[in-house]
């Protein structure tokens, strides 16, 4: 059975959420800006706090921000020798941190977001969509994942890491690629479903790893062509049983889901070690995501 994009219309209405947003591709990359715009248009209150430069593959590294070097921020988005942290002059909700993804989201949570949220902390953390997939063995090394895990593990904020297999690093001021808008639409659908499920949005210590398959002009080119599938990060051949779903007690791996075509994998990670969670907590997440979930053919 395939659940379509229009199902989002039938979800319970949710109040605007306080969102902290980050990635590892940099604050000026078009995927994060497109998603920022989609979240804003949906009525949420967003603060973006992401690296000044591409920091892909830096995992959970953390370091004090430094003055921007002589070539400025990525894509010319800030001048040479800019301060260690900075903001977009025309939209102060867009912020860079010249350090790692974890440092960026930490700065956003502790310093930047409270200025916009009347001192309150974000209600949910959203990272990405990453340029490129973060599947299986790639997960521990992903800065996009690292930022999401920090939000959960250290700040106690539920988090979702989004990644898409199509695309190359692209500046925010270029024409929006088809894949970027499709990924933003899909990410908004997952986010809206989680928010509509009510608090707590995710079980304690749990984050979601969401991977979007390839988008092209002829295939998987519209959000309503996709289905969402509950998955696991690793194969789990020797691990305890998963939650019973789609007639089995073993969830498919992320790789096996996205390789099928227009299928999005949604895995449930443990923030303590970036591995899969047990069946009890899987069942709690399943209950929240059921409105959009499908089974593989």
Ranges of residues in the chain whose predicted pLDDT is under 50? 1-13
Residue with tokens 């229009």: 6
What's the token pair of residue 208?
């979601």
Q: Tokens 């800019």 map to which residue?
A: 82
Instruction: Name the pairing type of β-strands 85-87 and 94-97.
Output: antiparallel
Contact 11, 188 (CB under 8 A): no
Q: What pLDDT is recorded for position 6? A: 39
Round to the nearest angstrom and report the end-to-end CA distance of the chain. Answer: 8
Q: To the nearest 5 percent, what fractions of the chain are helix, strand and coil? A: 30, 20, 45
- pLDDT value of position 238: 85
pLDDT the model gives residue 9: 40
Residue 116: Cβ-neighbour burial (10 angstroms; 0-12, 13-18, 19+): middle
CATH code of the domain in which 47 resides: 3.40.1210.10
| Count of CB atoms situated within 10 Å of the CB of 29 | 28
Distance set, CA 38 to CA 105, 115, 126, 183 (Å): 20, 22, 13, 10
22 DSSP β-pair partners: 127
CA 48 – CA 28 distance, rounded (Å)? 10
Taking the C-alpha atoms of residue 22 and residue 26, their distance in angstroms, rounded to an integer, is: 8
Rounded-to-integer distance, Cα 6 and Cα 223, Å: 9
In the numeric block, which tokens belong to residue 187? 């990410």
Domain range spanning residue 245? 5-294
CB 160 within 8 A of CB 190: yes
Domain count for the chain, please give it: 1
Separation between Cα atoms, residue 227 and residue 250, nearest integer Å: 19
pLDDT at 7: 43
Pairing of strands 206-212, 159-164: parallel
Note the pLDDT of residue 3.
Answer: 40
CA atoms in the 13 A half-sphere facing the CB of 33? 21
């Amino acid at each position: 059975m395939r659940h379509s994009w229009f199902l989002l219309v039938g979800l319970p209405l949710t109040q605007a959420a306080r969102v902290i947003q980050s990635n590892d591709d940099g604050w000026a990359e078009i995927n994060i800006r497109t998603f920022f715009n989609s979240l804003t248009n949906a009525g949420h209150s967003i603060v973006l706090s992401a690296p000044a430069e591409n920091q892909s593959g830096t995992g959970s590294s953390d370091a004090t921000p430094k003055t921007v070097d002589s070539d400025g921020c990525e894509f010319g988005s800030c001048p040479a020798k800019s301060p260690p942290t900075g903001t977009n002059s025309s939209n102060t909700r867009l912020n860079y941190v010249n350090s790692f993804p974890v440092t960026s989201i930490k700065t956003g949570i502790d310093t930047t977001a409270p200025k916009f949220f009347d001192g309150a902390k974000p209600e949910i953390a959203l990272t990405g969509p990453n340029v490129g997939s973060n599947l299986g063995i790639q997960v521990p090394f992903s800065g996009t994942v690292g930022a999401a895990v920090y939000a959960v593990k250290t700040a106690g904020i539920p988090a979702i890491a989004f990644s898409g297999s199509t695309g190359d690093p692209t500046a925010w001021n270029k024409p929006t690629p088809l894949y970027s808008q499709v990924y933003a639409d899909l990410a908004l659908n997952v986010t809206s479903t989680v928010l509509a499920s009510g608090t707590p949005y995710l079980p304690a210590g749990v984050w979601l790893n969401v991977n979007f398959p390839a988008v092209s002009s002829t295939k998987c080119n519209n959000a309503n062509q996709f289905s969402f599938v509950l998955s696991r990060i690793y194969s789990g051949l020797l691990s305890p049983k998963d939650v019973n779903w789609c007639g089995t007690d073993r969830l498919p791996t992320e790789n096996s889901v996205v390789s099928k075509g227009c299928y999005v994998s949604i895995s449930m990670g443990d923030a303590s070690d970036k591995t899969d969670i047990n069946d009890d907590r899987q069942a709690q997440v399943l209950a929240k995501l059921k409105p959009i979930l499908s089974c593989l053919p």
